[in-house]
Amino acid sequence: MNKQKTKVMIGLSGGVDSAVSAHLLKQQGYDVIAGFMRNWDALANSDQLGNPTLNQDLCPQEVDYQDAQLVADKLGIPLFRIDFVKEYWDHVFSFFLKEYEKGRTPNPDILCNKYIKFDAFYEFAKSHGATMIAMGHYAKRIDHADGFAGMHLSIDDNKDQTYFLSQISQTQLSHTLFPLADIPKEEVRRIAKALNLAVAEKKDSTGVCFIGERNFREFLKNYIPAQPGIMIDMETKQPVGQHEGVYYYTIGQRKGLGIGGSKSLGSDKWFVVKKDVKNNLLYVAQGEDNHFLLSDEITVGSLNWIRSIPKIGMTYMARFRHRQALLPVTIKSLTNQTLTLSFPNGYKAITPGQGAVLYYQGECLGGGLIDQIYYQGQQRL
């Protein structure tokens, strides 16, 4: 690749990671342009409840855009402002809500990468003469001898984002650059400070992808009305409290249950272990090691394999949530639509709707979305 003739559009978010990525691309000789994505409109999308930014003079997105412009000016690259509000709603947020209405817990970052950052953004980049895009993600692209690109773990285990990238395609990966692949976060901050970038010490973004920090239960009430019901002890099948709506809770959740104050309920912590959407019942159990949180087999749908398809009977490493340790799993069955993973020792709090991502020798193979979970032959949800 002739870097001096290759035009790359970097997704400039207003954060330190994408800012340093833009600098590194310029340093490597690429012809760099930048795009700032605006994917959420709080007013148009009725984002009122749970939104702590409503009364601010400048919404967080505008602050991010101004920071992105400061970085672009400092680095001497043009910045385009791009509106993907409709695309985000249609392809990410609508699915997000439908999953919650089914009692599942989706991860919007995974779909945002698939449909917005590495699809709609790339189409915009091409329309402005770019043949490649780049992101400030912590992931590594490696071009293998078979002619295909593979996505590998970044050098920074704590910041690695391959889990969120597990649904991108071979085509998407092949025209994407990850400048931070071999750079730990501490070094990214150091580079930003040395360049005197305005975002050098800016906090990392948190919360829902492109939406930001929210009181999540209140935020969901904007779109899924509260339906209070009974909270039941999974062990005794007796009521132990009230819930605000089963949609608002996730498997393994401990905080915000409102159970306590009674000696009869004991002192152990309570955890959400099952959601019965049809009957509006939330099941809870006590103790970090209660067996109701365990699964030893799961089925996975919405499959996507980036470079190679895993094989039945083989053992791989898997991750069921971001920053979780890699865990060994065995492929029990695999079709074009469904993957079944088994792990006889059992793992805790695996949650339908979340991603199940497979790895082999540091390469992210891809994965899918968790559909059903089982323990000792019995379906958990």
Continuous H helices in the chain: 16-27, 60-75, 85-88, 94-101, 108-112, 121-127, 170-174, 185-194, 216-221
With contact defined as beta carbons under 8 Å apart, do 79 and 199 qualify? no
- Based on the residue annotation, tell me whether 209 is a catalytic residue of this protein: yes
- Tallying the residues shown for the chain, one arrives at 381
Q: Three-state DSSP class for 26?
A: helix
- Based on the residue annotation, tell me whether 59 is a catalytic residue of this protein: no
Proportion of the chain in helix, strand, coil states, percent, rounded to 5: 25, 30, 45
From the candidates 9, 71, 173, 209, give the one annotated as an active-site residue. Answer: 209
From the candidates 20, 112, 240, 294, give the one annotated as an active-site residue. Answer: 112
As to burial, measured by CB atoms within 10 angstroms (0-12 exposed, 13-18 middle, 19+ buried), residue 224 is middle
Q: Where are the beta strands (DSSP E) in the chain?
A: 7-11, 31-38, 79-83, 132-134, 140-143, 149-152, 176-177, 229-233, 239-243, 270-276, 281-286, 294-305, 315-319, 327-334, 339-348, 355-360, 363-375, 378-379
Q: Backbone dihedral region of 367: left (phi > 0), alpha (psi from -120 to 50 degrees) or beta?
A: left
* Contacts (Cβ under 8 Å, ≥6 apart) of 84: 37, 38, 39, 116, 120, 121
Q: Rounded to whole angstroms, what are the CA distances from 184 to 128, 245, 263, 322, 358? A: 31, 41, 48, 17, 23
Active site residues: 112, 209
